[in-house]
């Protein structure tokens, strides 16, 4: 069983879409995505610097668009498809499109709304996030609770992302839990926490007008690592996760339970395959960073079908 996974915010880098624009039809599709999301994705993915594409309302549509472009290129280049999909944070929108729960149009419109709503929520109060690497999980969680910080991402492989006020994040970095490294993240706010509650309501209103189909592929939710069989449930979970922790650790544990034999991460790739190499040792991975990586991905798919 080969799973396609889609990364979240922070995986983008300046110019990363440039090689994809060399494929037939990609520029036109990006133009359509730009209209749907309300962001100039061609300029963002090829010309804008790191600061501009770090902006939440830019980064989120950019990442989903890249995932959709690379997913389409993958299924066009292979006679064998992944049998399951999952997405980390905003990558879950891409996963829902890949699984047939949402249309591309609905996915890009929702991610545009999501990005703007989360940027607006982040502007209400100075908040931030930091990756906590290593250490005993119980000790880490106790320290976060003492600082009134939320474990926003359980990424597995000994990594938890904390989120909360900037003052608390600064204190965490100054006095990290024993045996850990704390790396402050360059983000606009405390995503996947109570601070994003206004964005949840905005996205819920937008999602009410969207038709959700049942998934055609095995679909994992990062709310608890379970598989979802109803499109309406998948959409509800997608909305709620804006203010809820991302349980990517549970997704990877579920991959193991389902006998996943390979993982293909779509563009902008690298983050999730890195986590998988630590948490799912021995499971082959391919990071599709550019069209040059499609051959390795199709080879993994062909091997997984044998």
* Active centre residues (catalytic): 89, 192
Q: Angle between the 56-77 and 91-98 helix axes, to the nearest 10 degrees?
A: 30
3-state secondary structure at position 131: strand
Find all residues with CB under 8 Å of 226, minimum gap 6, and list them. 220, 250, 254
Query: CA–CA separation, 12 vs 270, rounded Å?
Result: 10
The torsion angle over the Cα atoms of residues 264, 270, 272 and 278, rounded to 10 degrees, is 100
Rg from Cα positions in the chain: 18
Which residues have CB under 8 Å from 218's CB, separation 6+? 1, 3, 83, 84, 85, 227, 258
* φ and ψ at residue 14, rounded to 5 degrees: -55, 135
Number of Cβ within 10 Å of residue 123's Cβ equals 12
Q: Are 251 and 222 in contact (CB under 8 A)?
A: yes
Quote the CA–CA distance of 255 and 227 in Å, as a whole number.
10
Q: Name residue, tokens 């997913």.
A: 71
User: Helix 91-98 and helix 231-240: axis angle, to 10°?
Assistant: 170
- Residue 197 has a CB neighbour count (10 Å cut-off) of 12
What is the rounded CA–CA span in Å between residue 17 and residue 201?
32
3-class DSSP assignment, residue 68: helix
List the beta bridge partners of residue 2.
Answer: 262
């Amino acid at each position: 069983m080969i799973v396609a996974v889609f990364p979240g915010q922070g995986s983008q880098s300046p110019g990363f879409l440039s090689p994809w624009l060399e494929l037939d039809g990609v520029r036109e599709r990006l133009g359509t995505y730009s209209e749907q999301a309300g962001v100039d994705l061609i300029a963002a993915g090829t010309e804008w610097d790191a600061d501009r594409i770090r902006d939440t309302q830019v980064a989120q549509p950019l990442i989903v668009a890249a995932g959709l472009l690379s997913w389409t290129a993958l299924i066009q280049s292979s006679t064998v498809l992944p049998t399951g999909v999952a997405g980390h944070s905003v990558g879950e929108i891409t996963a829902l499109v890949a699984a047939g729960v949402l249309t591309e149009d609905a996915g890009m419109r929702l991610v545009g709304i999501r990005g703007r709503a989360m940027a607006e929520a982040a502007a209400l109060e100075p908040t931030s996030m930091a990756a906590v690497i290593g250490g005993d999980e119980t000790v880490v969680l106790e320290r976060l609770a003492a600082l009134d910080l939320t474990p926003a991402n359980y990424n597995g492989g000994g990594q938890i992302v904390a989120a909360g006020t900037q003052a608390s994040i600064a204190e965490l970095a100054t006095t990290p839990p024993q045996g850990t490294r704390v790396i402050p993240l360059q983000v606009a706010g405390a995503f996947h926490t109570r601070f994003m509650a206004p964005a949840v309501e905005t996205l819920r209103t937008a999602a009410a007008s969207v038709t959700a189909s049942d998934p055609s592929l095995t679909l994992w939710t990062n709310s608890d690592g379970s598989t979802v069989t109803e499109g309406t449930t998948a959409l509800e979970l997608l909305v709620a996760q804006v203010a809820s922790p991302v349980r990517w650790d549970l997704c990877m544990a579920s991959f193991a339970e389902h006998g996943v034999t390979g993982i293909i991460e779509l563009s902008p790739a690298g983050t999730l395959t890195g986590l998988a190499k630590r948490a799912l040792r021995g499971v082959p991975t391919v990071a599709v960073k550019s069209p040059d990586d499609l051959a390795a991905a199709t080879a993994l798919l062909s091997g997984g079908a044998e």
